Amino acid sequence: MDRRAFIKIGGALTIGTVLGQGFQFYQAVADSKGEKTSALAKNKWGMLIDLNKCDAGCTACVDACRKENNVPLFGDKERDIHWIRKASVKQKFPNAREQSVPLLCNHCENPACVQVCPTMASFVRKDGIVLVDKHRCIGCRYCMIACPYKARSFVFKETHDWTNKDVPKRMHGVVEKCDLCVHRIDKGQKPACVEACANANNGAMVFGDLNDPESGISKLIANNAVQQIRADLGLKPKVYYIGM
């Protein structure tokens, strides 16, 4: 390659880079303006879990979630996908009581995952549900680094489990997590875990609208000592716990 050719190719690349980036900036500014002017959605979905009613041996919520969302187990503990799991939590104190705590995505108002996502594949829907656009996710896993709740799983392996056709087929190489059964919410139903918990006669999980002061969940939050996980981080998680 002679010098002239190098300069030509180099110049073309540089101009392309600058133009491309400029366009991207323009678009980003335009997008952000659009969002600020649009109205807020009416609902703000949240969840409340009464740990006093949660049975340590019961996995109804976890099983229902796996069935509803075809969440597979690969038999590889470190790479299995979990949308909701039950953790055992106890104080560092002699003979401390073990508590069974269902853990899922907290659908934060200030989600750290959305903050870091370079493509905005992770986003907050108008009703407060944090979702992942699996067609836009590039699988960089920055969200998994940023989330303090370990709510996210990477799909490490191809899987063809697709029993519930109401939800999209899983693809490998992207990140996923609890979507509060958004497909059910849009049909006016409750998340599968909440329904299963009620059917197991525990009724430990309450789902509802935090914007409506008359909703069951709002009343329970108003009248109980509730706690969120790591509220000190300022992410404003929307999963509340009683009895933690």
Partner 1 sequence: MKIQFTTIEGKSFQFYAILVILSILAAAGLYASYRMFEGGHYITGMTNQVPWGFPIVMAVYLIGLSAGSLVLSSLSSVFGKKEYKVFSRVAVYLAALLLMAGLMSITLDWGRPDRLMIPFTYFNFNSMFSWNAFLYSAYIGICVVYLMAMFAEKEKLVTFIGAVAVIWAVAVHSGTGAIFGFIHARELYHSPLLAPSFIAAALSSGTGLMILILLGTFKFTNRPLDNRLILGLSKLLSGFILIVLYFIFIENLTRFYAFGLREAEHYYLFEGLHSKVFWIGLILTGSIIPAAILFFPKTNKSIPWIALASFMVVIGVLAERYIIVIPAQTYPLDQFPGKEVSSVFLDGAYANYLISLPEAAQAVGIVAIVGIMFILGLKLLELLPTEAVIHDTEKK
- Residues between 103 and 132 with contacts to partner 1, criterion CB under 8 A: 103, 112, 114-121
The reply to whether 33 sits near partner 1 by the rule CB under 8 A is: no
Q: Among residue numbers 208 through 237, which ones bind partner 1 (CB under 8 A)?
A: 229-230, 233
Question: Which lies closer to partner 1 via its Cβ, residue 27 or residue 201?
Answer: 27
Which residue, 121, 120, 110, is CA-closest to 147? 110
The reply to whether 154 sits near partner 1 by the rule CB under 8 A is: yes
Distance (Å, whole) CA 13 – CA 82: 44
The residue range among 41-49, 168-176, 179-187, 189-197 that interacts with partner 1, by the rule CB under 8 A, is: 168-176
Q: Among residue numbers 178 through 197, which ones bind partner 1 (CB under 8 A)?
A: none
The residue range among 26-34, 37-45, 63-71, 211-219 that interacts with partner 1, by the rule CB under 8 A, is: 26-34
Query: Under 8 Å CB-to-CB from 72, ≥6 apart: which residues?
Result: 66, 80, 81, 159, 161, 170
Q: Which helix (H) or strand (E) holds 185?
A: helix 182-185
The residue range among 39-47, 89-97, 198-206, 215-223 that interacts with partner 1, by the rule CB under 8 A, is: 89-97
Distance (Å, whole) CA 101 – CA 56: 8
Q: Among residue numbers 42 through 61, which ones bind partner 1 (CB under 8 A)?
A: none
Candidates 51, 124, 146, 198; binder of partner 1 (CB under 8 A) is 146
Tokens at 21, concatenated:
């980036």
Q: Write b or e for each residue in 146-176: b if 16 or more Cβ atoms lie within 10 A of its Cβ, otherwise e.
A: bbebebbbbbeeebeeeeeeebeebeeebbb
Please tell me whether residue 45 adopts helix, strand or coil conformation: strand
The reply to whether 149 sits near partner 1 by the rule CB under 8 A is: yes
The reply to whether 79 sits near partner 1 by the rule CB under 8 A is: yes
Nearest distance from C-beta of residue 209 to partner 1, angstroms: 26
The reply to whether 35 sits near partner 1 by the rule CB under 8 A is: no
Sign of CA dihedral 76, 77, 78, 81: positive
The residue range among 40-48, 142-150, 184-192, 208-216 that interacts with partner 1, by the rule CB under 8 A, is: 142-150
Nearest distance from C-beta of residue 158 to partner 1, angstroms: 6
Candidates 42, 52, 56, 139; binder of partner 1 (CB under 8 A) is 139
Candidates 42, 67, 74, 201; binder of partner 1 (CB under 8 A) is 74
Tokens at 174, concatenated:
């992207």
Which residue, 66, 62, 84, is CA-closest to 74? 66
Candidates 56, 138, 189, 213; binder of partner 1 (CB under 8 A) is 138
Counting other chains too, the contacts that 144-147 makes at CB distance below 8 Å and 24 or more residues apart are 144/113, 144/175, 145/116, 146/112, 146/113, 146/115, 146/116, 147/111, 147/112, 147/113
Question: Which lies closer to partner 1 via its Cβ, residue 55 or residue 212?
Answer: 55
